[in-house]
Amino acid sequence: MNRKWWKEAVVYQIYPKSFQDTDRDGIGDLAGIISRLDYLEMLGINTIWLCPINVSPMRDNGYDIADYYKIDPSFGTNEDLEELVEKASERGIRVLMDLVVNHCSDQHPWFQEAVKNPDSKYASYFIIKETDGEAPNNIRCYNAVSAWERIGDSNRFYFHSFAKEQPDLNWENPFLRREIIEMMKFWQQKGIAGFRIDAIGNIKKSKYALAQGMLPPDGDDGMVSVDKYVLMQDGIEEYLQELKEEVFDKYDMMTVAEVSVPEERMEQFIGENGLFSMVFDFSYTDMDIEKRNGKEWKRPWTIGELKKKIYDSQNSIQKHGWGSPYLENHDQPRSVNKYIPRDEISYESKTALGVLYFFLRGTPFIYQGQEIGMENYPFRDVKDLRDPFAVSRYQQSVDKGENPENDMEYFRERGRDNSRTPMQWDDSTYAGFSDVEPWINVNPDYVQINVKEELDKEISVYHFYQKMINLRKNPEYGETLTFGAFQAVETKEEALIGYRRTDDNYRITIWVNLSNKVAELPKSRAASMVILNNRTELEEDRLLPYQAIVEVEGGKE
């Protein structure tokens, strides 16, 4: 068995801008993360993933990098990052960085030079086309506008999958790829243990994406989604293999790719000698949305659908490699609001969700605040929003004469700002995040939901997450829960979700009742219970509403 260190990791994702402010500017910083390392060590995690902290104009909150070698002053300095790595290491915690290399900022010196001088070598670092004055084609970027932006008053256009301030890099250029490789080595030498790699499935473009002429539209706007022409294109493996050989393998790095991989290519991406350690699977976390005319909208779903998607995901990943189970991240709303009806959100439902995903096969990820049960923000109007994608979408609806309140309703339920509000440390002003007004509003529920409150309670979401982490690290059961095979348990009741982790020593069964009704368990289960999330004792052969348990059968000789 391939026993890489990252398979035994429990990752805690930090959105630095919203974690802890120490220099009183309303923005979180690296010193703030350092000040909270004891908290993270107590929780039990052993790996931190930092969302982007490089120099950036922050048009997309750091996912638009203007200098790959420097930390943005709002977060601190390169020396602060080195201190974080050192002090985290003293606590047995590794640090991952976010690698954003499909695109950069339009303020990056490379792009500035490419715009200024068409003959510069940097012009070929980007995808730039000169035409007779019209955009090369009708591809729609993720911001629901043209993927081509005119350069000044010239007839030159550059390609951007995301916002116009984020020009795509030209991975066809070997000199550009060498720049990226050297940059990755630079951070590895600073002690970075790996990378979460943003939008990496977009780096190879179809020839049709770059050709001139109309493509078949898929919406009323006469444009066509960029997805078909930039996601997982043939030949992307050559670029990724180069990164793997030059960096990932040489330094035993943990690499987590943000890319949807079809079953037939899974082995290549996460197999024994795959391109990455693991990839994120969006099948069950994005099942509540659908796209129409370039916009995402909420769609109805069922617990049965959720169950099937989790089972299918686990079975597919298990055939080929390693998974990365998660409920929340910086691009998702708070999971309790997504999966649990509003009037059923409680300690029980929050911890039941935790049990549901935490013991799946793979490296579990916890997003900041998830471990205390943080919830969505009650956005009133567009003035509350900070996500540039949301603000742009709202304005597009206004400009088209559409009702922007429909967009606001989507943002309240599904907007990315829900997960980006400040970490709620205590019930003091600004939730202990800062002494001054933060860059984004604090959720008004911070008085009830905060770290201090959770630590003071004997039974709390935080303490339950701590128990789950400790169980996964338990010398007796941890081997099975980490490396054991996944096996779905079929149940008659839709809301009863069951699965097993098995090896030669134990058969550990996870049962979760994800409903407000009693669920019947299979009878005659010869097992010992090791985790129960409900305050009451387990009733024989049934689970109470939102009750979840972990049961163990077998034992070492």
Structure tokens belonging to residue 486: 């996944």
Residue 435: CA count within 13 A, CB half-sphere: 4
Name residue 502's beta-bridge partners: 485, 507
Pairing between β-strand 47-50 and β-strand 94-100 as defined by DSSP bridges: parallel
Task: Say if strands 11-14 and 278-279 run parallel, antiparallel, or are unpaired.
Answer: unpaired
Orientation of helix 347-358 relative to helix 461-473, angle to 10°: 20
> Annotated catalytic, 198?
yes
Cβ within 8 Å of residue 197, ≥6 positions away: 99, 101, 255, 256, 257, 258, 276
CB 395 within 8 A of CB 381: no
- Measured distance CA(479)–CA(336) in Å, rounded: 29
Q: Can you name the residues that pair with 140 across neighbouring β-strands?
A: 146, 225
| Paired sense of beta strands 528-532 and 548-554, if any | antiparallel
**Which value, to the nearest 10 degrees, does the dihedral of the CA atoms of residues 393, 399, 404, 406 take?**
-70
pLDDT in tens, the chain (557 residues): 578 999 999 999 999 999 999 999 999 999 999 999 999 999 999 999 999 999 999 999 999 999 999 999 999 999 999 999 999 999 999 999 999 999 999 999 999 999 999 999 999 999 999 999 999 999 999 988 999 999 999 999 999 999 999 999 999 999 999 999 999 999 999 999 999 999 999 999 999 999 999 999 998 889 999 999 999 999 999 999 999 999 999 999 999 999 999 999 999 999 999 999 999 999 999 999 998 877 899 999 999 999 999 999 999 999 999 999 999 999 999 999 999 999 999 999 999 999 999 999 999 999 999 999 999 999 999 999 999 999 999 999 999 999 999 999 999 999 999 999 999 999 999 999 999 999 999 999 999 999 999 999 999 999 999 999 999 999 999 999 999 999 999 998 999 999 999 999 999 999 999 999 999 998 877 788 899 998 777 888 899 999 999 999 987 54
| Residue from 389, 388, 386, 406 nearest 398 by CA | 406
Report the pLDDT value the prediction gives residue 292, as an integer from 0 to 100: 83
Tokens representing residue 215 in the block: 């493509």
* Set 29, 198, 371, 384: catalytic member: 198
Helices of type H across 106-146: 109-116
User: According to the model, what pLDDT value does residue 557 have?
Assistant: 44
Give the contacts of 295 (CB within 8 A, at least 6 positions apart).
144, 393, 407
The answer, as to whether pTM is greater than 0.85, is yes
Q: Side chain identity at 26, as an amino acid letter?
A: G
How far, in Å, CA of 29 to CA of 52, rounded?
12
Q: Which pair of structure tokens corresponds to residue 151?
A: 């350069």
What tokens appear for 505 in the block?
């020593």
What's residue 536's pLDDT? 75
State the pLDDT at residue 219.
86
CB 467 within 8 A of CB 529: no
Cα(81)–Cα(83) distance, integer angstroms: 5
227 annotated active-site:
no
Active-site residue identified among 29, 60, 165, 258: 258
